[in-house]
C-alpha cells in the first residue's frame, strides 16, 4: 500500500504535512497530498497559518510536479498572504535543487518559503517567525 500524506493540525497555527510512512518504497499517494493541501487552504481562510511541508520519502515525477504546480497556481494563490511562514523539508540535495529551480523559473507560482534538509531545522526556523 502506498504511503499517504497526513496533515498534523495539533500545533495550530503551525500545520505540518508529511508522509505517514517515509520509507516504504512505494510512490506516495498524490491524491492524499492534494486533500491535505486543500485542508491547509480551508484553515488559512479561517486565519493566518504557518506551513511546514516535509517531503521526506516523497518521489516527485512529472505528473506529481504538474499537479502540485496547478494547485499552487489555483487554490494556494487565494490564501498566499495568510501563510505567514512556509518551510519545506527536502532531505536530498537534488530535491532542494529542484525546488530552487522552480523558484527561479516560476517565481509568481511559488510562495515565499525556505527549504531545509531536516524537519528539526525547518521547525526551528518556522517557530522563530
Neighbour count for residue 48 (Cβ, 10 Å): 13
Domains of the chain listed by start with CATH number:
5-127 (3.40.525.10)
**How far is Cα 11 from Cα 45, in angstroms, rounded to an integer?**
17
Q: What angle do CA 120, 122, 124 make, to 5 degrees?
A: 70
Rounded-to-integer distance, Cα 45 and Cα 49, Å: 9
pLDDT in tens, the chain (129 residues): 788 999 999 999 999 999 987 555 677 888 898 899 999 999 999 999 999 999 988 877 778 778 877 777 777 777 888 988 999 999 989 888 888 877 777 666 556 788 999 999 999 999 998
- This prediction has a pTM of 0.87
Amino acid at each position: 500500500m502506498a504511503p499517504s500524506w497526513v496533515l498534523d493540525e495539533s500545533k495550530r497555527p503551525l500545520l505540518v504535512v508529511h508522509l505517514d510512512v517515509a520509507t516504504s518504497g512505494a510512490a506516495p499517494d498524490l491524491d492524499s497530498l492534494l486533500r491535505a493541501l486543500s485542508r491547509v487552504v480551508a484553515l488559512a481562510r479561517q486565519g493566518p497559518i504557518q506551513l511546514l511541508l516535509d517531503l521526506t520519502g516523497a518521489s516527485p515525477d512529472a505528473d506529481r510536479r504538474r499537479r502540485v504546480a496547478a494547485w499552487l497556481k489555483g487554490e494556494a494563490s487565494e490564501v498566499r498572504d495568510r501563510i505567514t511562514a512556509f518551510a519545506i523539508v527536502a532531505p536530498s540535495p537534488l530535491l532542494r535543487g529542484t525546488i530552487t529551480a522552480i523558484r527561479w523559473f516560476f517565481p509568481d507560482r511559488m510562495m515565499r518559503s525556505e527549504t531545509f534538509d531536516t524537519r528539526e531545522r525547518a521547525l526551528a526556523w518556522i517557530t522563530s517567525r
